[in-house]
């Protein structure tokens, strides 16, 4: 069993569910649960996401037995596999550009096999493609979805190595599963279309018995749209920061595609280990419903002995408060002011001081434009106070407010609800990108609504 996340984003609730199901299966069967970081995409990987993956898994209590393995450190294995594929003629070199492929796009989806028989040398600057069979079918039994067959003629000659020599996802994925003796590939349904390619490669590399496959249903939001990083709150650590209990989170993740039967919804981890059956996972998409998660969490909170509730709330508050409290030392006159200047970090939404708000709006004609520009700048910077500082200067200049002090006003109001408080950029750093952006857009909606109604 393994969880094989790519460190290109936050640890997602979907990855959490997949990790849990793998973990449960491993614990039930005295199996080995491996953590493998699939960091072959050098352009999109970020080390902080690798940290975040491990932190979130530890928080959930999904301990791994082996790893973390990093694909970026296993290049020799992939190169050896590629050499074997070249020697057996299973792959060929291709120098087509993406534009050429697009122009020629014919009856076969994707790549049309243009370079198949050109006999190009596999030199630098040329990618390697797998020669998929023209006839026959690739078939596998999926524990969740039954038998799946694909006509080989429908599978394009997919790439296994990039033109710069880096392995492509599918090659590293197959080579590692074989090398790590993975017996069960339990992963999201979005990987089903990769599985036929996986099997063709597996066979070409002569690896022996294939793993068992189980593709878990996709997650949808409550509007029945596929859960998305952009639209929905999906980072496990955001839920941690909002004060969800890890045991409640695990319980809820367990219900995404599986159920303990009846209308039972509260299932402890021990009960899940005893009762979970991979065969009982449903194939229909599962709804990730934040309100449901909230009600599960509330059940867990209610079940805590009062003393434990105090201890856990205290730990949660302290973790958030410690970095920010010293930042208001210069401004607060009483301990209670230390609290009112920092409470924006703890609340789901800031309490907007209406006096401060009206004054801020009146004195800053570019109020809405600033919020808008700041959101745009903040959405893809490193989330550090230095980068936030620069981005805010840039946003201010863009809308004609070159004075940083003035440019900060709408942002501070949107995020903290007040016009005075701790240093802004440190505050934003602590609040996190998602919550900052949500507050900026709420404030923008408010100021537009108010100016619309006169």
Q: Which residues are part of the catalytic machinery?
A: 229
197 makes contact with ligand GLU (CB under 6 A): no
Question: Which one among 1, 13, 22, 38 touches ligand GLU, defined by CB under 6 A?
Answer: 38
Residue 5 engages ligand GLU in binding (rule: CB under 6 A):
yes
Lookup: tokens for 392:
């805010």
Structure tokens of 80? 């050896």
Q: Compute the distance between CA of residue 411 and CA of residue 428 in angstroms, rounded to an integer.
A: 10
Task: Tell me how many residues contact ligand GLU (CB under 6 A).
Answer: 7
CB of 12 to ligand GLU, least distance (A): 9
Piece of the chain touching ligand GLU by CB under 6 A; list 4-12, 361-369, 401-409, 431-439: 4-12
Size of the chain, expressed as the number of residues it contains: 454
Are the CB atoms for 116 and 92 separated by under 8 Å?
yes
Write each residue from 201 to 230 as x if it is in contact with ligand GLU (CB under 6 A), else as -, in one continuous string. Answer: ------------------------------
From candidates 90, 173, 196, 408, binder to ligand GLU by CB under 6 A = 173
DSSP string covering 354-399: HHHHHHHHHH-TTHHHHHHHHHHHHTTS-SSHHHHHHHHHHHHHHT
Cis check for the bond before 334: say yes or no (omega within 30 of 0). no
Q: Least CB distance from residue 177 to ligand GLU, whole Å? A: 8
Position among 4, 24, 54, 182 found at the interface with ligand GLU (CB under 6 A):
4
DSSP structural state of residue 141: E
DSSP state of 153: G
d(CA 46, CA 381): 12
Q: Minimum distance between the CB of residue 21 and ligand GLU, rounded to whole angstroms?
A: 12
Binding status of residue 1 toward ligand GLU by CB under 6 A: no
**Whether 7 contacts 228, CB under 8 Å:** no
Q: How far is the CB of 171 from ligand GLU (least distance, A)?
A: 12
Q: Are residues 432 and 382 in contact, defined by beta-carbon separation less than 8 angstroms?
A: no
7 forms part of the interface with ligand GLU (CB under 6 A): no
Determine if 138 is a binding residue for ligand GLU (CB under 6 A): no
Residue 189 as a binder of ligand GLU (CB under 6 A): the answer is: no
Q: Does 45 bind ligand GLU (CB under 6 A)?
A: no
Residue pair 59/250 in contact by the 8 Å Cβ criterion? no
To the nearest whole angstrom, how small is the minimum distance from the Cβ of residue 19 to ligand GLU?
10
Shortest separation between residue 15's beta carbon and ligand GLU, angstroms: 7
- Of 2-10, 72-80, 101-109, 275-283, the segment contacting ligand GLU by CB under 6 A is 2-10
52 sits near ligand GLU (criterion: CB under 6 A): no
Pick from 126, 187, 197, 412: which binds ligand GLU (CB under 6 A)?
Answer: 187
The angle at the Cα of 105, spanning 103 to 108, to the nearest 5 degrees, equals 170
Closest CA to 328 of 408, 440, 430: 430
Q: Which of 61, 348, 254, 40 lies closest to 165 in space, CA to CA?
A: 40
Is residue 191 near ligand GLU by the rule CB under 6 A?
A: yes
The backbone torsions φ and ψ at residue 384, rounded to the nearest 5 degrees and listed phi first, read -125, 160
- Check binding of 6 to ligand GLU (CB under 6 A): yes
Q: Please answer whether residues 13 and 219 qualify as being in contact, where contact means their C-beta atoms are separated by less than 8 angstroms.
A: yes
**Residues within the interface to ligand GLU (CB under 6 A):** 4-6, 38, 173, 187, 191
């Amino acid at each position: 069993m393994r969880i094989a996340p790519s460190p290109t984003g936050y640890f997602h609730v979907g990855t959490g569910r997949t990790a849990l199901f793998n973990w449960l299966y491993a614990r039930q069967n005295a199996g080995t649960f491996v953590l493998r970081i699939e960091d072959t995409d050098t352009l999109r990987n970020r080390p902080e996401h690798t940290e975040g993956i491990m932190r979130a898994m530890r928080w959930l209590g999904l301990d791994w037995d082996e790893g973390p393995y990093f694909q970026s450190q296993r290049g020799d294995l992939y190169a050896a596999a590629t050499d074997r594929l070249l020697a057996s003629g299973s792959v060929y070199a291709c120098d087509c550009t993406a534009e050429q492929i697009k122009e020629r796009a014919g009856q076969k989806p994707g790549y049309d096999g243009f370079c198949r028989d050109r006999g190009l040398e596999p030199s630098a600057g040329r990618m390697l493609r797998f020669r998929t069979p023209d006839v026959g079918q690739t078939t596998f039994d999926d524990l969740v979805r039954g038998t799946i067959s694909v006509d080989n003629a429908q599978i394009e000659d997919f790439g296994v190595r990039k033109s710069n020599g880096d392995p492509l996802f599918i090659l590293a994925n197959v080579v590692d599963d074989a090398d790590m003796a993975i017996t069960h590939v339990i992963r999201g349904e979005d990987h089903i279309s990769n599985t036929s390619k996986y099997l063709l490669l597996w066979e070409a590399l002569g690896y022996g018995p294939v793993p068992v496959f189980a593709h878990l249903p996709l997650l949808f939001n409550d509007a029945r749209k596929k859960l998305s990083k952009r639209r929905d709150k999906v980072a496990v650590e955001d839920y941690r920061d909002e004060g969800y209990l890890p045991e409640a989170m695990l319980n809820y993740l367990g219900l995404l595609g599986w159920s303990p039967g009846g209308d039972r919804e509260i299932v402890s981890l021990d009960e899940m280990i005893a009762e979970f059956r991979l065969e009982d996972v449903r194939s229909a998409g599962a709804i990730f419903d934040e309100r449901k998660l909230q009600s599960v969490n509330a059940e867990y909170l209610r079940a805590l002995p009062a003393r434990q509730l105090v201890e856990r709330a205290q730990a949660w508050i302290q973790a958030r408060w410690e970095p920010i409290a010293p930042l208001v030392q210069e401004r607060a006159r009483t301990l209670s002011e230390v609290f009112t200047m920092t409470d924006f970090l703890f609340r789901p939404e800031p309490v907007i001081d209406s006096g401060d708000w009206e004054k801020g709006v009146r004195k800053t004609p570019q109020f809405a434009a600033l919020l808008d520009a700041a959101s745009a700048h903040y959405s893809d910077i490193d989330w550090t106070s230095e980068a936030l500082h620069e981005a805010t200067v840039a946003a201010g200049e863009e809308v004609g407010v070159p004075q940083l002090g003035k440019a900060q006003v709408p942002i501070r109001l949107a995020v903290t609800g007040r016009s005075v408080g701790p240093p802004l950029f440190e505050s934003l750093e602590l609040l996190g990108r998602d919550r900052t952006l949500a507050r900026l857009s709420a404030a923008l909606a408010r100021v537009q609504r108010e100016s619309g109604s006169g």
